Structures are given as C-alpha cells and as structure tokens.
Amino acid sequence: MVSNDAADAEVAKGPLHGLVVADFSRVLAGPYCTMLLADLGATVIKVEHPRGDETRAWRPPVREGTSTYYLSINRNKRSVVLDLEDLADRELGKRLASRADVLVENFKPYGLCRFGLDYESVAATNPGIVYASITGFGTAGGAKLPGYDLLVQALSGLMSITGAPDTPPFRSGVAVFDVITGLHACSGILAALYHRGSAGVGQHLELDLMTSALSGMVNQTGGFLLSGMMPSRIGNDHPSIFPYAPFDTADGQIVLAVGNDTQFRALCELLSVPGLVEDPRFASNGDRSAHREELRPLLTARLRERSAVEWFEIMRSAGIPAAPVADVAGGIAFAKELGLDPVIEMGVGANKLPGIRHPIRFSRTPPAYPLMPPTLDQDGEAVRRWLEGQTGFGV
C-alpha cells in the first residue's frame, strides 16, 4: 500500500480541511461517520487498541489478505495504536482529545470515564470539542445491553415486518441501523460545529441505535403511533401502496413502484388493460391496496408475456417506475450506465484500491480519496510526533 505520508501532497482541501477528528470508535456506525468526514477533508486519527478494530478480522471476503469490511469504511484515516490501560498511551489519548475539534466514540456507556476521556473531562480542557457518543440502547436502562445492529433490528420491530407472512422474521441484508446512526452522527456533528462557530463552545451528542431505528422506520412506527394499527410481514409489498412490489415476468421478476393514480393509468394503457382503471375496485390507491390480491394476477398475466429486461426498457421509456431485481454487481453497473460514477480509487500512485464514492457531490469542494485504509498503527509514529508539536501531516 502507498504510505499515507506519501499521499499528503495530494490531499485535496475539502470543505472540512483543517478539522481534526479523534476517532475512538470501531466496527461500523462510528467509522462510517468518520469516513464521511474524512472524505470531505477532515483529518481523522483512528485510535485503535493493540488488537485493532474488530472489522479487521471480519472475513471473508478479503482483498490481498485484508478484510474488505474494514477496507469499506476506513479510507482517508490515520491509524495509531493507543493502549489506554497504559499510562503513557492514555496521556497521548488525552492530548489528542485536547487538540481535536471532534471526538467520536462508541465505548460502552461511561467506559471512557476511567481513562479521563469522557465528555466532561475532555471539555474541561477543550471546551470547543464536539463529542459524539454512540451506544446501542442509550445510557439509562439499556446501558448494559450490547450494541449490535442485529439486536436492534430484533428489538425495534424491524424484523417483525421483514419477510413474508409465512416466513420467519428476517434481518436486513446490511447493518442498516448502524449506517443510519452513522449518518445521524455526521449530521449532528456538522450542526454542532455550526453552533460552535457562533457560540464558541462545543457540546455532547448522544446517539443510540435503538432511537435511530425507531426514527428510521418512519411510516411503520409513525403509523402505529397515529393509528394503533400493528404492522406485520407482507413480503415485498408496501402496506399503503399497490402495485408497489415485484411481479413475475416471462423470466425473473420486475418491481413496479406505481405510487399514484396517473401512473396506474399509464401502466394499464401500456399493458393494454385500460378497463382496470374504470374498475371501482382499483379506481384509487386506497381501493387498489384493499383489493391487491384481486389486482395482482390481472397484472401478472400481462407481465408474463415479456422478460423483466424487456419490460424495464419499455416502462423506462414510458416513464413508469419499474426495475428488474439486480444483484450487487448489477446495481454498480447500472449506476455506471447512468453516469453516477459510483466507483472511485483510494490512494495515489500505481497501487490503489476501488471503493464506492462519497454520496454527495460538491460543486466547489469535492470529496477526495488520497489515503487508503491504514494498516494497524501505520501512522503511529507520525501521530505521536504531531502530538509533541513536531509535524502537522496535513492538519
């Protein structure tokens, strides 16, 4: 891999250039948040235990012997090993916290208190710090619960609504609440930095996966609170819209996302079944939702006449929301076809790694990807020199 020192000259000055982030987090929610900040120019110093971030050992898959899970969420960072049980390393951790603009941590609740790295201790010497704490279930009754995304998917109710009526509950195919919490952490940090710009002081942000889950389930949690109706598993159907689901074709399935009456009329015209629009069972979205099991076979009979790819091209041209069910490779390929440029290269020089680009485009200060995910303690010596005031490595 290209050393991070060699990449310094090519670090773009993104919108967060000059911001120092002390990253005491590990696994996914925190590292995803700090990677997004790093993409935008922040100097992120990843503090790791001598064992390293757990995701370094999460395999398969691997790339050149390194976990791709780790590689996917740790670009543009610098790694330093600090054993907080060691007094000298603990003092370096405190020095880093005193110089940082942002600190992100996901230790067990109050876990950093014994090291003098809790918010109150850090803010006593660094009142401008924006300090983000991420837990699984908060710091009160859920303080002792381990904060794993899968547990949150189970306890939040997400699994109860994921799957078909005749299947067991399923988890999401990605740690969705870790990702949502990381996004909330990123937006909260930026809001707190904006506040600091006018008020002159930082603050403590507390995030937990459980609250992020209940917020992220939007219409399902909101629908229950507002109506008392308990959501249930209905497979790939939408509880409030139809047709909004996969349908069988001559080969494979195509997803229809028909969200209003105008789109339904256009779909019926395209399928040469205009009479369905006049049928009182299907006249409005509410009617279609109530009579979905009667409407489904009528649409499927027509959709079976062509392949999913053929229907996609026809419906795409007609402006009807539809899509074949692709795999991950197909998803990346389609994004490329649309000109979204989803794949970037991390690092500089000849030895680079592919990755998915930062999801936001900036017209003036675009994200950059000069640093590949660091090996364990790759920047330990440089970080120590910086903490002693000898060098800035791009800060």
Question: What's the pLDDT tens digit per position in 41-71?
Answer: 999 999 999 999 999 999 999 999 999 999 9
> Which residue's entry shows tokens 């120019």?
41
Number of Cα atoms under 13 Å in the Cβ half of residue 377: 11
- pLDDT given at position 129: 98
- pLDDT given at position 168: 97
- pLDDT given at position 390: 80
* 256 closest CA partner among 322, 326, 324, 312: 322
Mean pLDDT value across residues 261-272: 97
> Which residue's entry shows tokens 């189970």?
154
- pLDDT given at position 350: 84
Distance CA 209, CA 197 (A): 28
Task: Categorize the per-residue pLDDT at 391 as very low, low, confident or very high, splitting at 50, 70 and 90.
Answer: confident
Task: Categorize the per-residue pLDDT at 392 as very low, low, confident or very high, splitting at 50, 70 and 90.
Answer: low
Of the chain, the end-to-end C-alpha distance in Å amounts to 22
pTM, entire model? 0.93
Mean pLDDT value across residues 316-322: 97
Distance CA 219, CA 212 (A): 14
- Tell me the domain boundaries of the chain: 4-217+341-387, 253-324
- pLDDT given at position 5: 52
Distance CA 352, CA 1 (A): 8
In the chain, what percentage of residues exceed pLDDT 90?
94
Quick check: is 178 catalytic?
yes
Dihedral of the alpha carbons of 160, 188, 382, 95, in degrees to the nearest 10: -110
Task: Categorize the per-residue pLDDT at 9 as very low, low, confident or very high, splitting at 50, 70 and 90.
Answer: very low
78-131 pLDDT, tens digit per residue, is 999 999 999 999 999 999 999 999 999 999 999 999 999 999 999 999 999 999
Where does the chain show beta strands of DSSP type E?
20-24, 43-48, 62-63, 66-67, 77-81, 102-105, 130-135, 203-208, 244-248, 253-257, 322-324, 343-346, 353-356
164-213 pLDDT, tens digit per residue, is 999 999 999 999 999 999 999 999 999 999 999 999 999 999 999 999 99
- Residue of 178, 208, 237, 379 marked catalytic: 178
CATH of domain 253-324: 3.30.1540.10
3-state secondary structure of 254: strand
Residue range 4-217+341-387 forms a domain whose CATH class is alpha beta
Residue by residue, DSSP assigns 39-74 as HTT-EEEEEE-TT--GGGG--SSEETTEEHHHHHT-
